[in-house]
């Protein structure tokens, strides 16, 4: 679950849209960051030749950066109407909060797409292709252990 907020907008619909967009952006960035970190940890579990390992890591990160995160759902939202007294009178604006989520299955599909894209990118490099397969195996094993 990730939160998005919007503050100070005088248009209610715009405040809602802004907070929803922020929540979706936050979840996409956090998911991509999590995948990068988990992949790096899976890679560090093996001792690889530096050049092929770095090539694979850069290819994977590029794949992750280019992924479109789908499956984000708006779970809930709340809007607060704020009346502020100023020297020129009363100013009305809105604070909007949105909570978004991504199902575990959608997360897994995203990760699988990143691994597939990476495998396609490194297919000509035998060493990187082997490292990719081993890293993907360790990645999913670590995910399974977390679920226990």
Nearest to 69 by CA among 39, 28, 100: 28
Report the range out of 40-54, 88-102, 131-145 with the highest average pLDDT: 88-102
CA-to-CA distance for 48 and 68, rounded, in angstroms? 30
Give residue 45's pLDDT.
66
| DSSP letter for each residue of 57-86 | HHHHHHHHHTPPP--EEEEEEEEEEEEEEE
Can you read off the two tokens belonging to residue 132? 């990719």
| Residue pLDDT, tens place only, 82-97 | 999 988 899 999 999 9
Contact criterion met (CB below 8 Å) for 23 and 100:
yes
Whole-prediction pTM value?
0.75
pLDDT of residue 138 exceeding 80, the answer is yes
Confidence of residue 128 (pLDDT cuts 50, 70, 90): confident
């Amino acid at each position: 679950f990730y939160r998005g907020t919007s503050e100070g907008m005088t248009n209610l619909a715009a405040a809602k849209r802004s907070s929803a967009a922020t929540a979706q952006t936050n979840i996409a960035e956090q998911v991509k960051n999590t995948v990068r970190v988990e992949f790096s940890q899976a890679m560090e579990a093996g001792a690889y030749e530096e050049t092929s390992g770095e090539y694979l890591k850069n290819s994977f990160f590029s794949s992750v950066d280019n992924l479109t995160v789908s499956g984000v759902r708006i779970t809930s939202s709340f809007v607060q109407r704020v009346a502020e007294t100023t020297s020129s009178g009363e100013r009305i604006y809105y604070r909007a909060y949105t909570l978004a989520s991504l199902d575990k299955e959608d997360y897994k599909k995203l990760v699988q797409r990143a691994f597939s894209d990476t495998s396609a990118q490194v297919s000509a490099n035998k060493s990187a292709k082997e490292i990719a397969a081993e890293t993907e195996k360790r990645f999913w094993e670590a995910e399974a252990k977390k679920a226990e």
